Structure 1
Amino acid sequence: MRPPSSAARSRATVRAKVAAAATAATAALTVFAGPAAPAATPAIPGFTDGYGLTRVDGATEVHSDTDFTITVTTKQLSGQHKIRVFLPRDYAADPGRRWPVVYFLHGGGGTVDDAAAAPALHSDSAITVVPDGGLKGWYADWLMQNTAEGAANWETFHIDQVVPFIDANLRTIPDRAHRAVVGVSMGGYGALHYAEFHSDLFGHVASLSGGVDFGMAAVRGAVLATELNATGAWCAVSTSSASGSGRCTGYGPYVDSDAIFGSPYPVFNADRVWNEVNPAAAGNLARLAGVDVTLYTGNRGPIDHFTEIASKNVKSGLDKLGYPSRLVDYGDGSTLASSCDGGHNYGCWAPAVADYMTHLRTAFGTTSS
């Protein structure tokens, strides 16, 4: 084999020098540029304080550009409180479009993150807002404001503050025809109560396994259990498996059994407030004229045995008034989904929410702003 010619050796030398120079230049540029920048945080809409709500700086949790949680303070409640928001995928890409809004109310012992256990809430046809409802807020302005919970005006927080705050900061369709409220367990009571007492805001409501008949001793007992922090069946199965063990850690500090709605005992009209806010009372059901009402319940376990009775009582009352409504009693869950055992849990609520969101897409599509 002949040795390379002098010309070949010269070309090889030139190539080696060019490669070395390129390597040096790359190294120099790397040093100049410094370490690689971290991945950018997804962009989310900006929020302006208002309606009595003040955002807590540095407390926003960004899960994605369509899933984030802001934290606010308000004089209506002690402490800091989260509001989780799910946006449609096209929200940013279609800046001229406005969207219907679904408010989701979590159950007792739960948090705003329970909504992640019902994936259908993250819809491409509506904005979903999940406000903190407290471990035992019961979506009420409490009679007692001097308990260990401090200020506890949950209804005022949601109705007078969160709803207009969301309308001011997001591209909503701000009318009742395009606003729905849906809740599970304690939130099922809250949803029906809000639709009854604020039908000017909500044109659609769904209660899932809700404590919707305060005329029933078992339902009043559920409220008392939360006030007294008596953890048990109501607490253990009413929160999302997405939040850890699937078992809530309690209802917060002990408060007086009369703290929220006053005395629960029907003696000398002592239970006046319970009767005034009872969703199953004929006078309150009459407030639902023109509201699209849906009820879901199973009938298995120590809780949904009673929520089935309560839901049927509400349905019967609406029928007597001649108001159209929909009751989905999935019994043991076999007709709803393989994940559902007919009990008080997200194995049933997630597919029920999916069914309801399908219903809402049609309902929103046939209403006008």
Structure 2
Amino acid sequence: MSSPLPGWRLRAKAVVAAAALAVITLAAPSAQADPSAPPVLTDGQGLTQVGSTGTATDFVVTVTTAQVAKPHPIKIILPDGYWSNPTKRYPVLYFLHGSPDSPVNQTYPALHSSSVITVVPDGGARGWYSNWRDQNTPAGAQNWETFHLDQVIPFIDANLRTVATKQGRAVAGISMGGFGAMHYAQRRPELFSQVGSLSGDIDLSAASMDLRMAVVASLTNAPGGFCSSGDCQGAYTPAVSSDALFGSPYPVFNIDRLWNEADPASHVSRLAGMGISIYTGSGGGNPLSLEFWVEGANKHVKDSLDALGMPYYYVAYGNGAGWGTQCNGDHNSGCWAQDLVDYMPRLERAFATA
């Protein structure tokens, strides 16, 4: 007579498998009852939700974390068909805003018409997508890298149907966010397969001392930061020391070593194997334009990539002629909107062939 034990074991395994599937389903909701309301997400990974607004496919979740002072919004854009196709998983673009902007202002049409999930986490007015050297300033805790890479990414993977692998993840950003994208991709290359910079401040070495001093201006709340209007006074409060972010910014006796360690232009080799996209204007050749100085920084990165023989995609649209109808080659949303019109289809193709 055969023993009943094998059958019992099969039934037990089936129960365990069903329970595991139920847990996964709860963690990543597949149905949205009310299309006019944001989905209900589950707290975790050190994040506590304190509010949400928007629709089922375009919403903002506000969270608190011990890593960064004050509540912070995370904008999430889901592709069309996300709720009607409950078994499909989607790649994710982590899109980093500029200084002193906010996630809620990232309303570029190309982000809303793509086939990927777009997540725009708050980076603060001048968080610089880094864990600050000095955590004891009037600004409070400033561990932005930990917040984004160790909390936001796993929070999104736990709550949405993502392709939760390197091949299913990209990071890109504007201005300060362009620096953040390169910085994150270089610090954690195991997380991302694609990186993009739109008018990014991607050279913080002494060779781009102008941009380094603009970063310092954002820290100390002095004129000359990164407001696109050029009037930054009052945008970066409370004021903190010029050394708060990466220590001393002055290139004397290597005391600026933390600036050099964070400088994307000095570490392009860490991007080996990733798809790299860089967009920059020229500010019309006007030294009073921030984009004029950004163009020089981007050329430094291009030169570093060329020296190593690394592949990349580089668009220098100069004064904006022929680059969309709203681009004048300056440091503004009219040019970035056109950058994204070009970038998003390329990103989708890269994900599709990964």
Task: Give the TM bin, normalised by the shorter chain.
Answer: 0.7 to 0.9
SS of the equivalent of 1:316 reads helix
Residue of 301, 307, 310 corresponding to 1:323: 310
Q: C-alpha separation between the residues in 2 aligned to 1:70 and 1:98?
A: 21
Paired residue for 2:282, among 299, 305, 324? 299
1:234 alignment partner, SS class: coil
SS in 1 for 2:190: coil
1:226-241 aligned within 5 A: 226-232=218-224, 234-237=226-229
1:233 Cα deviation after fit: 6.6
- Distance (whole Å) between structure 1 residues aligned to residue 159 and residue 246 of structure 2: 33
Aligned to 1:252: 237
Matched, 1:218 2:201: no
Measured in 2, the distance between the counterparts of 1:248 and 1:292 equals 37
What corresponds to 1:23 in structure 2?
none
* In structure 1, distance between residues paired with 2:181 and 2:148: 11
Q: Which runs of 4+ in 1 moved over 6 A?
A: 246-249
Task: Show structure 1 runs of 5+ residues with no match.
Answer: 1-39, 239-245
Structure 2 distance, partners of 1:255, 1:61, is 32
Alpha-carbon RMSD: 1.7
Matched, 1:47 2:38: no
- The 5-angstrom pairing of residues 1-369 of structure 1 reads 42-56=36-50, 59-62=51-54, 64-116=55-107, 118-215=108-205, 216-232=208-224, 234-237=226-229, 250-281=235-266, 284-300=267-283, 301=286, 302-367=289-354
Corresponding letter in the other structure for 1:81: H
Residues of 2 paired with 1:47 and 1:323: CA distance?
A: 40
Cα distance between partner residues in 1 of 2:335 and 2:346: 17
Measure how far apart 1:187 and its partner are: 0.5
Q: Percent identity?
A: 50
* Post-superposition offset of 1:231: 4.0
For 1:249 and 1:125, how far apart are their aligned partners in 2? 38
Aligned letter for 1:256? S
The whole-number CA distance in structure 2 between the counterparts of 1:100 and 1:75 is 28
- Give the deviation of 1:41 after TM superposition: 6.8
Tell me if the contact between 2:221 and 2:232 (Cα under 8 Å) persists in the aligned partners.
no
Scaled by the length of structure 1, the TM-score of the pair is 0.82
Maintained 8 Å contact 1:104/1:183: yes
1:108·1:251 contact (CA, 8 Å) conserved in 2?
Answer: no
Q: Distance in 2 between matches of 1:95 and 1:175?
A: 19
- Structure 1 stretch displaced more, 312-321 or 286-295: 312-321
Amino acid at match of 1:228: T
Shift of residue 236 of structure 1? Answer: 3.4
What is the TM-score normalised by the length of structure 2?
A: 0.86
Q: Distance in 1 between matches of 2:233 and 2:319?
A: 23
> Take 2:214 and 2:106, find their aligned partners in 1: how far apart are those partners?
22
Q: Which runs of 5+ in 2 are unaligned?
A: 1-33
Q: Which of the two has higher C-alpha Rg? A: 1
Which secondary structure state, in structure 2, belongs to the residue aligned with residue 60 of structure 1? strand
When structure 1 is superposed on structure 2, of 118-127 and 177-186 the one drifting more is 118-127
Amino acid at match of 1:108: S
Kept in 2, the 8 Å contact 1:90–1:124? The answer is no
Give the letter aligned to residue 264 of structure 1. Answer: P
SS at match of 2:60: strand
Query: Residues 87 and 123 of structure 1 are in contact (CA less than 8 Å); yes or no, is this contact kept in structure 2?
Result: no
Deviation at 1:72, TM superposition (A): 0.6
Shift in Å at residue 174 of structure 1? 0.8
